[in-house]
A = this chain, B = another copy of it.
Amino acid sequence: MPATRRGELRRAALLDAARDVFLEQGYARASIDEVVQRVGGSKATVYQYFGSKEGLFGEMIAHQCQQLIDSAEFPGRGSAPGADIEQVLLQFARRVVQLFLAPGRIAMHRAMIAEAGRFPELAERFYDAGPKRGLALLSGYLRGQHEAGVLDCPKPDWSAVQFMNLVRTYPMFRALHGMQPMPEGDDLDEFLQHAVRLFLNGCRIQG
Protein backbone atom coordinates (compact mmCIF):
# COMPACT_ATOMS: atom_id res chain seq x y z
CA MET A 1 0.00 0.00 0.00
CA PRO A 2 2.19 2.82 -1.25
CA ALA A 3 1.18 6.38 -0.43
CA THR A 4 3.11 8.33 -3.05
CA ARG A 5 3.07 8.30 -6.80
CA ARG A 6 6.63 7.07 -6.96
CA GLY A 7 5.65 4.30 -4.58
CA GLU A 8 2.87 3.14 -6.86
CA LEU A 9 5.25 2.96 -9.78
CA ARG A 10 7.77 1.08 -7.68
CA ARG A 11 5.14 -1.41 -6.61
CA ALA A 12 3.99 -1.99 -10.16
CA ALA A 13 7.56 -2.39 -11.38
CA LEU A 14 8.25 -4.89 -8.60
CA LEU A 15 5.19 -6.92 -9.55
CA ASP A 16 6.29 -7.01 -13.17
CA ALA A 17 9.81 -8.08 -12.32
CA ALA A 18 8.48 -10.63 -9.84
CA ARG A 19 6.32 -12.10 -12.58
CA ASP A 20 9.32 -12.52 -14.85
CA VAL A 21 11.58 -14.02 -12.22
CA PHE A 22 9.01 -16.32 -10.62
CA LEU A 23 7.75 -17.59 -13.94
CA GLU A 24 11.22 -18.10 -15.34
CA GLN A 25 12.71 -19.84 -12.33
CA GLY A 26 9.83 -21.17 -10.31
CA TYR A 27 8.96 -20.10 -6.80
CA ALA A 28 11.68 -21.83 -4.83
CA ARG A 29 14.51 -21.05 -7.20
CA ALA A 30 13.58 -17.42 -7.65
CA SER A 31 15.41 -14.98 -5.42
CA ILE A 32 14.16 -11.67 -4.17
CA ASP A 33 17.58 -10.20 -4.79
CA GLU A 34 17.17 -10.88 -8.48
CA VAL A 35 13.74 -9.27 -8.56
CA VAL A 36 15.15 -6.20 -6.86
CA GLN A 37 18.17 -6.11 -9.15
CA ARG A 38 15.96 -6.05 -12.25
CA VAL A 39 14.04 -2.97 -11.16
CA GLY A 40 17.03 -1.29 -9.54
CA GLY A 41 15.26 -0.70 -6.25
CA SER A 42 15.98 -2.14 -2.86
CA LYS A 43 14.91 -5.15 -0.88
CA ALA A 44 13.55 -3.00 1.90
CA THR A 45 10.80 -1.81 -0.45
CA VAL A 46 9.77 -5.37 -1.26
CA TYR A 47 9.36 -6.20 2.39
CA GLN A 48 7.56 -2.94 3.05
CA TYR A 49 4.95 -3.65 0.38
CA PHE A 50 4.64 -7.41 0.37
CA GLY A 51 5.93 -8.56 3.73
CA SER A 52 7.53 -11.77 2.54
CA LYS A 53 8.43 -13.84 -0.46
CA GLU A 54 5.11 -15.66 -0.22
CA GLY A 55 3.31 -12.34 -0.10
CA LEU A 56 5.08 -11.13 -3.21
CA PHE A 57 4.26 -14.33 -5.06
CA GLY A 58 0.63 -14.21 -4.01
CA GLU A 59 0.09 -10.62 -5.05
CA MET A 60 1.90 -11.23 -8.31
CA ILE A 61 -0.45 -14.11 -9.15
CA ALA A 62 -3.48 -12.06 -8.14
CA HIS A 63 -2.27 -9.22 -10.36
CA GLN A 64 -1.85 -11.61 -13.29
CA CYS A 65 -5.34 -12.99 -12.72
CA GLN A 66 -6.77 -9.51 -12.86
CA GLN A 67 -4.96 -8.88 -16.13
CA LEU A 68 -6.36 -12.16 -17.46
CA ILE A 69 -9.86 -11.03 -16.60
CA ASP A 70 -9.31 -7.69 -18.30
CA SER A 71 -7.86 -9.18 -21.47
CA ALA A 72 -9.97 -12.28 -22.03
CA GLU A 73 -12.69 -11.51 -24.51
CA PHE A 74 -14.58 -14.48 -25.89
CA PRO A 75 -16.44 -14.59 -29.16
CA GLY A 76 -20.07 -15.59 -29.30
CA ARG A 77 -20.98 -13.36 -26.39
CA GLY A 78 -24.00 -11.99 -28.16
CA SER A 79 -23.83 -14.20 -31.21
CA ALA A 80 -26.91 -14.28 -33.37
CA PRO A 81 -29.16 -17.17 -32.34
CA GLY A 82 -29.21 -18.45 -35.88
CA ALA A 83 -25.45 -18.41 -36.46
CA ASP A 84 -23.89 -21.68 -37.58
CA ILE A 85 -23.14 -23.62 -34.42
CA GLU A 86 -20.05 -25.29 -35.80
CA GLN A 87 -18.53 -21.94 -36.69
CA VAL A 88 -19.39 -20.41 -33.32
CA LEU A 89 -17.84 -23.33 -31.45
CA LEU A 90 -14.79 -23.39 -33.67
CA GLN A 91 -14.17 -19.71 -33.06
CA PHE A 92 -14.61 -20.32 -29.37
CA ALA A 93 -12.15 -23.21 -29.47
CA ARG A 94 -9.55 -21.13 -31.28
CA ARG A 95 -9.90 -18.36 -28.73
CA VAL A 96 -9.60 -20.74 -25.79
CA VAL A 97 -6.44 -22.33 -27.14
CA GLN A 98 -5.01 -18.95 -27.99
CA LEU A 99 -5.60 -17.75 -24.45
CA PHE A 100 -4.15 -20.85 -22.82
CA LEU A 101 -1.05 -20.89 -24.97
CA ALA A 102 -0.37 -17.15 -24.81
CA PRO A 103 3.24 -16.28 -24.00
CA GLY A 104 3.83 -16.53 -20.30
CA ARG A 105 0.57 -18.24 -19.55
CA ILE A 106 2.15 -21.68 -19.66
CA ALA A 107 4.85 -20.59 -17.25
CA MET A 108 2.19 -19.20 -14.96
CA HIS A 109 0.24 -22.40 -15.15
CA ARG A 110 3.36 -24.37 -14.29
CA ALA A 111 4.10 -22.19 -11.30
CA MET A 112 0.51 -22.50 -10.10
CA ILE A 113 0.52 -26.29 -10.33
CA ALA A 114 3.93 -26.57 -8.74
CA GLU A 115 2.85 -24.52 -5.74
CA ALA A 116 -0.77 -25.67 -5.60
CA GLY A 117 -0.09 -27.54 -2.38
CA ARG A 118 1.22 -24.41 -0.65
CA PHE A 119 -1.14 -21.81 -2.12
CA PRO A 120 -4.47 -23.56 -2.72
CA GLU A 121 -6.46 -20.32 -2.74
CA LEU A 122 -4.38 -19.02 -5.64
CA ALA A 123 -5.46 -21.91 -7.84
CA GLU A 124 -9.08 -21.11 -6.99
CA ARG A 125 -8.55 -17.51 -7.90
CA PHE A 126 -6.93 -18.44 -11.18
CA TYR A 127 -9.77 -20.81 -11.95
CA ASP A 128 -12.32 -18.10 -11.27
CA ALA A 129 -10.44 -15.59 -13.38
CA GLY A 130 -9.92 -17.85 -16.38
CA PRO A 131 -11.55 -21.21 -17.00
CA LYS A 132 -14.67 -20.53 -14.95
CA ARG A 133 -15.65 -17.47 -16.97
CA GLY A 134 -15.15 -19.27 -20.27
CA LEU A 135 -17.14 -22.23 -19.03
CA ALA A 136 -20.02 -20.04 -17.89
CA LEU A 137 -20.19 -18.35 -21.27
CA LEU A 138 -20.12 -21.62 -23.19
CA SER A 139 -22.58 -23.25 -20.85
CA GLY A 140 -25.05 -20.44 -21.40
CA TYR A 141 -24.71 -20.75 -25.14
CA LEU A 142 -25.25 -24.52 -25.01
CA ARG A 143 -28.27 -24.16 -22.77
CA GLY A 144 -29.80 -21.80 -25.30
CA GLN A 145 -29.23 -24.24 -28.12
CA HIS A 146 -30.73 -27.03 -26.05
CA GLU A 147 -33.83 -25.06 -25.22
CA ALA A 148 -34.18 -24.10 -28.85
CA GLY A 149 -34.19 -27.78 -29.70
CA VAL A 150 -31.04 -27.56 -31.82
CA LEU A 151 -28.74 -29.61 -29.59
CA ASP A 152 -29.30 -32.41 -27.10
CA CYS A 153 -27.55 -30.88 -24.11
CA PRO A 154 -29.50 -31.65 -20.95
CA LYS A 155 -26.47 -30.85 -18.77
CA PRO A 156 -24.89 -27.81 -20.36
CA ASP A 157 -22.41 -27.36 -17.50
CA TRP A 158 -20.96 -30.80 -18.01
CA SER A 159 -21.05 -30.44 -21.75
CA ALA A 160 -19.14 -27.17 -21.51
CA VAL A 161 -16.48 -28.87 -19.42
CA GLN A 162 -16.22 -31.65 -21.93
CA PHE A 163 -15.96 -29.31 -24.86
CA MET A 164 -13.18 -27.39 -23.16
CA ASN A 165 -11.32 -30.57 -22.30
CA LEU A 166 -11.68 -31.86 -25.83
CA VAL A 167 -10.29 -28.66 -27.24
CA ARG A 168 -7.56 -27.45 -24.97
CA THR A 169 -6.08 -30.52 -23.26
CA TYR A 170 -3.91 -31.85 -26.04
CA PRO A 171 -1.92 -28.69 -26.77
CA MET A 172 -1.87 -27.72 -23.09
CA PHE A 173 -0.55 -31.10 -22.02
CA ARG A 174 2.28 -30.90 -24.48
CA ALA A 175 3.09 -27.34 -23.51
CA LEU A 176 3.07 -28.02 -19.77
CA HIS A 177 5.42 -30.95 -20.24
CA GLY A 178 7.68 -29.00 -22.55
CA MET A 179 7.21 -31.52 -25.33
CA GLN A 180 8.30 -30.74 -28.86
CA PRO A 181 7.02 -30.16 -31.43
CA MET A 182 4.02 -28.12 -30.41
CA PRO A 183 0.97 -28.37 -32.62
CA GLU A 184 0.36 -25.09 -34.40
CA GLY A 185 -1.00 -23.51 -37.50
CA ASP A 186 -3.00 -25.75 -39.79
CA ASP A 187 -2.32 -28.92 -37.80
CA LEU A 188 -3.70 -27.37 -34.66
CA ASP A 189 -6.70 -26.00 -36.49
CA GLU A 190 -7.46 -29.36 -38.03
CA PHE A 191 -7.33 -30.88 -34.57
CA LEU A 192 -9.74 -28.26 -33.28
CA GLN A 193 -12.14 -28.90 -36.16
CA HIS A 194 -12.03 -32.61 -35.42
CA ALA A 195 -12.83 -31.93 -31.78
CA VAL A 196 -15.70 -29.61 -32.61
CA ARG A 197 -17.21 -32.15 -34.99
CA LEU A 198 -16.92 -34.95 -32.44
CA PHE A 199 -18.62 -32.79 -29.85
CA LEU A 200 -21.39 -31.71 -32.20
CA ASN A 201 -22.07 -35.26 -33.34
CA GLY A 202 -22.16 -36.32 -29.71
CA CYS A 203 -24.75 -33.68 -28.85
CA ARG A 204 -26.77 -33.90 -32.03
CA ILE A 205 -30.44 -34.62 -31.59
CA GLN A 206 -30.71 -38.32 -32.14
CA GLY A 207 -33.10 -39.15 -34.95
Footprint of B on A, CB under 8 Å? 26-29, 110-114, 116-117, 120, 123-124, 126-127, 155, 158-159, 161-162, 165-166, 169-170, 176-180, 191, 194-195, 197-204, 206-207
Candidates B116, B162, B201; contact of A195 at CB < 8 Å: B162
Instruction: Find out whether the CB atom of B123 lies under 8 angstroms from the CB atom of A177.
Output: yes
Instruction: Find out whether the CB atom of B117 lies under 8 angstroms from the CB atom of A178.
Output: yes
Instruction: Find out whether the CB atom of A206 lies under 8 angstroms from the CB atom of B201.
Output: yes
By a CB distance below 8 angstroms, the chain B residues around A111 are 114
By a CB distance below 8 angstroms, the chain B residues around A113 are 110, 113-114, 176-177
A114 to B177, CA, bound (A): 9
Copies of this chain assembled into the complex: 2
Instruction: Find out whether the CB atom of B194 lies under 8 angstroms from the CB atom of A155.
Output: yes
Instruction: Find out whether the CB atom of A112 lies under 8 angstroms from the CB atom of B177.
Output: yes
Instruction: Find out whether the CB atom of A170 lies under 8 angstroms from the CB atom of B161.
Output: yes
- A111 to B, closest residue via Cβ: B114
A-B contact list, 19 entries, CB within 8 Å: A26-B28, A27-B28, A28-B28, A28-B29, A112-B177, A113-B176, A120-B179, A120-B180, A126-B177, A155-B194, A158-B194, A162-B195, A162-B198, A165-B165, A169-B169, A198-B199, A199-B202, A201-B203, A207-B207
By a CB distance below 8 angstroms, the chain B residues around A159 are 198
CB distance from A171 to the nearest CB of B (A): 11
Instruction: Find out whether the CB atom of B114 lies under 8 angstroms from the CB atom of A110.
Output: yes
Instruction: Find out whether the CB atom of B29 lies under 8 angstroms from the CB atom of A124.
Output: no
Instruction: Find out whether the CB atom of A178 lies under 8 angstroms from the CB atom of B29.
Output: no
By a CB distance below 8 angstroms, the chain B residues around A176 are 113, 116
Nearest first, the 3 A-B pairs at minimum CB distance are A28-B28, A114-B114, A202-B202
CB distance from A156 to the nearest CB of B (A): 12
- A159 to B, closest residue via Cβ: B198
By a CB distance below 8 angstroms, the chain B residues around A202 are 197-202
Instruction: Find out whether the CB atom of A198 lies under 8 angstroms from the CB atom of B194.
Output: no
